[in-house]
A = this chain, B = another copy of it.
Amino acid sequence: MDNFSYCSPTRYVFGRGVEKETGRLTAAMGCGKVLMVSGGGSARRSGLLSRVEDSLREAGVEWVELTGIRPNPTDDRVREGIGLCRRERVEGILAVGGGSVIDTAKAIAGGVPYEGDFWDFWAGKAVMETALPVGVVLTIPAAGSEGSGNSVITKLDGMHKISLRTDMALRPRFAIMNPEVTFTLPPYQTASGIADMMAHIMERYFTTTEEVETTDRIAEGVLKAIIAEAPRVMAEPTNYDARANIMWAGTLAHNGICGCGRREDWSSHGLEHELSAVYGVTHGAGLAVVFPAWMTFMAEKKPAKIAQFGRRVFGVEESDNHSAALEAVDRLKVFFKSISLPLTLNELGIENADIELLVQKFHEDKGLPFGPYHPLYPEDTSAIYKLME
Chain A positions within 8 Å of B, measured between CB atoms, are: 1-18, 210-222, 224-226, 228-229, 240-242, 244-245, 248-249, 252, 257, 260-261
- What is the CA–CA distance of A245 and B2 in the complex, to the nearest angstrom? 11
Q: Once the chains bind, are A213 and B245 in contact (CB under 8 Å)? A: yes
Residues in B with CB closer than 8 Å to A17 are: 3
- What is the CA–CA distance of A114 and B221 in the complex, to the nearest angstrom? 42
Q: Once the chains bind, are A249 and B214 in contact (CB under 8 Å)? A: yes
Q: Once the chains bind, are B213 and A217 in contact (CB under 8 Å)? A: no
Residues in B with CB closer than 8 Å to A220 are: 221
Select from chain B the residue with minimum beta-carbon distance to A13.
B5
Shortest distance from the beta carbon of A25 to any chain B beta carbon, whole Å: 10
- What is the CA–CA distance of A228 and B216 in the complex, to the nearest angstrom? 12
Residues in B with CB closer than 8 Å to A221 are: 217-221
Q: Once the chains bind, are B218 and A244 in contact (CB under 8 Å)? A: no
Shortest distance from the beta carbon of A234 to any chain B beta carbon, whole Å: 15
Q: Once the chains bind, are B214 and A222 in contact (CB under 8 Å)? A: yes
List 20 interface pairs A-B (beta carbons < 8 Å), by A numbering. Answer: A1-B15, A1-B240, A1-B248, A3-B14, A3-B15, A5-B12, A5-B14, A7-B11, A8-B9, A12-B260, A211-B245, A213-B245, A214-B225, A214-B226, A214-B229, A217-B221, A217-B224, A218-B218, A244-B261, A252-B257
Residues in B with CB closer than 8 Å to A213 are: 225, 228-229, 245
Select from chain B the residue with minimum beta-carbon distance to A12.
B6
